A and B are shown apart, each in its own frame.
Chain A
């Protein structure tokens, strides 16, 4: 079997396991945590497109995620737009428009300057959500969001909604994989590696970065929409800087530039923050130590660390490389 074929088999096997999980007697609470995992994996992949493939460390991803979520809430409570397709479209468009505006501002600079501007942009959107009470509900947020029907299916229960998020994740993953393997994706990688050379070759580096940011915003919007339906409420925490940082942590944990690795990053963050907080009051500290350890000892993320540990466990010394990714 070629390497490509093996990956398709592995991905298909993983997908089948994921499909079966709610039917295997997994408690409903864990089904809902898994649902959350798919949602955070989508937004982490959207950020990975920028960090891993374009070389842009964007700290405003939570703002785009939050704009998608608020679009659902405001659409439902003010304009009575509640059906799946229109709401999803609204969320994606709002997030993409926001990302396009962010791009105009942030892409005037590179490196640290870009990071600082995106932090500021995230804070501006957070400030709007927190203080524009007549629209956003302020600190209280907006409650009373109802999960829609998807075609003929009622997905208001945990299991049904799990499938919505799993399928959304799978679609986003495939779209992003196609994108990064396309000629467009190759140019992005070139921009990441040596923007100066790409410029010399005649590519409009700014435009490629700008398009990548806008597309990434659309995927973040998908996750935001799913998150609003998941919690059935939206508050300013969803687009806080903390949230942006958490998304970046997922990307780093999972493996920068892998896309699929974000599933593992999201699993660890979602499950650990829920399980640890039940065990100890100092859970955030423990979490910090774990993140630290992963970054120190597995800079490639969990997709590199886990097979290495596995091989060591089996007594194999052959190093596993991430060449096939």
Chain B
């Protein structure tokens, strides 16, 4: 008995020691060798489909390029955030402290981005956000180390939508959005500019993310008898909503003004064409945009993946090109974060799959906003999808501050259920 107990003690201590030290890894090398990039993407959890697209877009670019720029190898490691902000932060720590990542790209969700940003800023590691669109990351919490490379700002596209809706003659509009930050910012941008013009928001409906049955929300919309419905939906919610909207016979009765994600290619590819054709939406990307840069990209992506790209895939492809260009302009010397970040900020894309882009001083792109319409695909694209978003009107060079002065704009709080840009 005596022996077994001391053995037990020893075993516990040994297990403890082994687990504490973990698996040994090579120490991160300083300047020579590859440029280590950590790609934080939700490859499991609720946003896994988006994570897949992000990785696909990023890898497509580096494959084309042979994984090298300015004589240095770019070595990307994908870290799974599990669609969970705390896990995303753990992964960022792993990438930076243990694996010596010099650049962090991603993650996907706003809450992941907001959790990771303070950490990378503290460690002076550049964080590039091609898909995290949370307003505050380029507004009230902007940082020199955080740049929305080839990215966007949630309310940027819907500020345009609000004015456009008024110009179409709509005066009474209901908004329907998911009850989380992205939904509040999308609806807020719309409500703000629409009411400033003189329109009236008759109701604002918030539906929890992951709602499968939109019928009660849709009947609430119907009860208000609006001129049009502004809608923000993501992922499976978008698919459910669009199908039910059509099934309940409202598709040709109440016009829809959709945000970017509602009719993103990743959603409409799994919906019958008659359900989505003709819907108007606002986005910083349109896969059916008739421009050489976009056409070339969707062709390449279609060949590689067999589908048309989502905005997530396109943003990561474009961001990879952007970052490569910056690495070239500093001749591969990314160790000096200040110089490298300046090079990233100085880049102006004359055109890209997303359109022309430059950064403002807050690290957010000034970019095209497209009024898009879902139509049947034509030409080569028909091989990969039945419907796509084509451009009916382009608002060029749109800032995240729309027409306001940044200082004035930043005096208002970020859009939330209690602040939607107008007094109720």
CB-based contact A314/B7 at 8 Å: yes
A30-B20, A310-B11 given; A284·B79 CB < 8 A: no
When A143-B114, A144-B118, A277-B80 are in contact, do A306 and B12 touch as well, CB less than 8 Å?
yes
In angstroms, Cα B21 to Cα A143, docked, is 30
Q: Which residues of chain A are near B21, meaning CB under 8 Å?
A: 26, 30
B85 lies within 8 A of A233 (CB): yes
How far apart are the CA atoms of A203 and B225 in the complex, in Å?
63
Chain B proximity mask over A282-325: 1 for CB below 8 Å, otherwise 0: 01100000000000000000110011011100101010100010
Distance in angstroms between the alpha carbons of A191 and B21 in the assembled complex = 41
Choose from A140, A237, A316 the contact partner of B134 (Cβ within 8 Å): A140
CA distance A267 to B21 in the complex (A): 11
Q: Which of A138, A139, A273, A320 contacts B8 (CB 8 A)?
A: A320
Question: A310 near B8 (CB under 8 angstroms)?
Answer: yes
From A9, A30, A303, residue with most partner B Cβ within 10 Å: A30
Q: A14-B13, A139-B110 are in contact. Are A233 and B118 (CB under 8 A)?
A: yes
Is there contact, CB below 8 Å, between A231 and B115? yes
Chain A: which residue is nearest B23 at the CB level?
A: A275
Interchain CB contact under 8 A, B4 and A134: no
With both beta carbons as reference points, the residue of chain B lying nearest to A131 in the complex is identified as B179
Given A28-B97, A275-B22, A307-B11, answer yes or no on A6-B4 (Cβ-Cβ < 8 Å).
no
Considering only residues 1-42 of chain B, those with a C-beta below 8 Å from chain A are 1, 3-17, 19-23, 25
- In the bound complex, residues from chain B placing their C-beta under 8 Å from that of A10 are 9, 12-13
Q: Within the complex, what minimum Cβ distance (angstroms) separates B95 from chain A?
A: 9
Which B residues lie within 8 Å of A9 (CB)? 9
B: contact size bracket: 35 or more
B82 in contact (CB, < 8 A)? yes
Decide if B180 is an interface residue (CB 8 Å cutoff).
Answer: yes
B6 and A6 within 8 A (CB): yes
A284 touches B82 (CB 8 A): yes
Q: Are A30 and B22 in contact (CB under 8 A)?
A: yes
> Please, how many angstroms separate the alpha-carbon atoms of A320 and B3 in the complex?
10
Stretch of B86-94, B387-395, B403-411 contacting A (4+ beta carbons < 8 Å) = B86-94
Residue of A with least CB distance to B113: A140
A28-61 contacts to B (CB < 8 Å) = 28-30, 32-34, 36
Also in contact, A274 and B180, with CB within 8 A (given A235-B115, A237-B85, A318-B4): no
Pair A271/B15 contact, Cβ less than 8 Å: no
How far does the alpha carbon of A36 sit from the alpha carbon of B20 in the complex, in Å? 12
When distances are taken between beta carbons in the complex, the residues of chain B under 8 Å from A278 are 77, 79, 94
CA distance A318 to B90 in the complex (A): 41
Q: Which one of A3, A139, A141 has the greatest number of beta carbons of chain B within 10 Å?
A: A139
Residues of A within 8 A of B20 (CB): 21, 26, 30, 34, 267
Check B280 for interface membership: any CB of A closer than 8 A.
no
Question: Among residues 78 to 135 in chain B, which have CB atoms less than 8 Å away from a CB atom of chain A?
Answer: 79-80, 82, 84-87, 89-91, 93-94, 97-98, 110-111, 114-115, 117-119, 134
Q: Is A13 an interface residue (CB 8 A)?
A: yes
Name the B residues within 8 Å of A134 (CB-CB): 416-418
Interface assignment of A152: CB less than 8 Å from any CB of chain B: no
Task: Report if A139-B7 is in contact (Cβ < 8 Å); known contacts: A271-B22, A283-B80.
Answer: no
Give every chain B residue within 8 A of A237 (Cβ-Cβ): 84-86, 111
Q: Which A residues are CB-close (under 8 A) to B294?
A: none
Given the interface contacts A28-B97, A29-B93, does A277 sit within 8 Å of B79 by beta carbon?
yes
Does residue B219 face the partner (Cβ distance < 8 Å to A)? no
Min CB distance B118 to A, Å, is: 6
Is B17 a contact of A17 with CB atoms below 8 Å? yes
Which A residues contact B (CB, under 8 angstroms)? 3, 6, 9-10, 13-14, 17-18, 21, 26-30, 32-34, 36, 130-131, 133-134, 138-141, 143-144, 231-233, 235, 237-238, 263-264, 267-268, 271, 273-275, 277-278, 281, 283-284, 302-303, 306-307, 309-311, 314, 316, 318, 320, 324
